Amino acid sequence: MEFRNIIARTDAGFAYFERLASATQADADVWARAVGGASVFLTDDLLNLGVDVRDVLTVVSNEPLRISIEGQPMQNAADPLHADAEQLYAQTFRRWHQSASLAHTMERVWYAARTPADMDALPSADALRLLTWQLRDAHDELDWLAREVGEETAARIRESVTGPQPPRTPYTKQPMPRFKPWEMRKPWLIYEEIAELQNRDVQDVRTAVEHRVSDGMTLEESLVTEYGAHPTAGVLVGIDLETTGLSPASDYIVDAGWERFDMTGGRGFDAHREQYGVSIERAALGLREATVELNGITAESLAGLVPFQEDLAAQREVMDALSGAVMVAHSANFEKKFLTGNCAGFAEAVRAGDIRILDSRKVGVHSDDYRFRGFRLDDYARRYGALGDDRERAVAGADGEPLTLDQGESERHLGLEDAHIMMRAMFNQQKALHDRYLAGEPVMKDDVSEE
């Protein structure tokens, strides 16, 4: 099989891949300067690995990151006539690991740009999108090779490259603090979060919080009080992505759901649900059992669908929904990372402020009463009536007709279903705080019960 057929399922997808490659080649020097001029805090991973930014971007814009196809060496493989599966795995993983570290650093540098001069110096995230595409493709081949060499051998090779992993710290259940120390020192992001929920000016939020502090209230209580001091308002866009795993460097977006949600009346509308395909090699390998158990999506159910990263029409549809809006997601950094690496224009719009991001999990952590109970979406939704037997079973679609919400008896995770329960739970929780405020009760109540 040729690389052309592995990297993209469609002619249009391959043409887009080639455009990204050309843009990356043109921007290699720009990215090298941007990363080279960034703080050590942002680039320490690359310094430790000795990665040359220009060299890596030149490679991925001119040749595959993988060096074999289904275990058969390609022309760019070192000593291809003698490379066995174990050698191929070691070489591919080393290339993948260095490139993944570069992608992580490039994303940090991209979003760290704040001044117009910094943004003008780095105007396009095309190189980050190409690198993500190449990484995912190479990781498909790593999974193929791991089957050949065995997981024990593959794990040994990975450890020889990355070093031994530190032992996991035993989990001890503790009440969740509302705010991190740095958030208390610089609460501007909390002011912005409250302003987005209530469709208010952020300076008004700050003034109200500081006024109560000057009257003797602690900053923590004043912040929580402000969540309840005004009703939620405006229209937000809730979105949830289902993927084949946790990293854009190895996994695919296979399901997405989003809806607009009226935070004044508590109503979802203009809902969408979409599914996307995976590569030919990933389809042959199958999807990971853990994610199939979570969302019920299999490689067979995605047969014939175009992968999101090569479907520009699908990317434009997502951008049409998010542009100029506040995007809400639960543990939103997950959606942000996947869309940054896969969706044309997303990284540019977020950095420019055209898409603003609100994390519903952080809203819960910051303002919920229950400090000992979980803040996963399921936990949050059950607490606030979005996942009970009486939960809403439909939401209005783009054409006004109802779209059925059906998570099944096992409550499988799907994009639109999760987006809707997230928005419903957040609305209900914030309404409870406002009702408490109107009743003259303290808004902040710490409940440390475990059930």
DSSP 162-216: H-PPPPPPPP---PPPSS-HHHHHSTHHHHHHHHHHHT--HHHHHHHHHHHHHTT
C-beta separation of 43 from 117 below 8 A: no
Q: β-pairing, 326-329 with 235-243?
A: parallel
pLDDT of residue 363: 98
pLDDT of residue 411: 59
List, in sequence order, the alpha helices (H) in 10-84.
Answer: 11-36, 40-49, 53-62
Provide the 10 A C-beta neighbour count for residue 61.
Answer: 22
Kindly state the DSSP code that residue 277 receives in the 8-state scheme: B
pLDDT tens readout for residues 386-399: 987 767 889 999 88
**Half-sphere exposure (Cβ direction) of 202: Cα atoms closer than 13 Å:** 8
C-beta separation of 341 from 128 below 8 A: yes
Domains with residue ranges and CATH for the chain: 3-162 (no CATH), 229-438 (3.30.420.10)
82: pLDDT strictly greater than 80: no
What is the four-CA torsion angle of 105, 108, 111, 116, rounded to 10 degrees? -60
- DSSP annotation string for 297-323: --TGGGTTPPBGGG-HHHHHHHHHHHT
Give SS3 for 86: helix
Backbone angles phi, psi at 370, to 5 degrees: -85, 100
Sequence-ordered strand ranges (E) for 284-442? 326-329, 356-359, 394-396, 402-404
pLDDT of residue 168: 81
Residues 6+ apart with CB under 8 A from 288: 244, 245
Its pTM stands at 0.95
Angle CA(410)–CA(296)–CA(384) in degrees, nearest 5? 45
How confident is the model over 309-328, as a mean pLDDT? 98
Residue 166's pLDDT band (boundaries 50, 70, 90)?
confident
Residues 6+ apart with CB under 8 A from 210: 222
Report how far residue 151's alpha carbon sits from residue 377's, in angstroms, rounded to the nearest whole number. Answer: 32
The token duo for 186 is: 């610089």
pLDDT tens readout for residues 11-30: 999 999 999 999 999 999 99
Report how far residue 301's alpha carbon sits from residue 320's, in angstroms, rounded to the nearest whole number. Answer: 26
Residue 1's pLDDT band (boundaries 50, 70, 90)?
low
42: pLDDT strictly greater than 80: no
C-beta separation of 5 from 41 below 8 A: no
What is the four-CA torsion angle of 376, 382, 388, 391, rounded to 10 degrees? -80
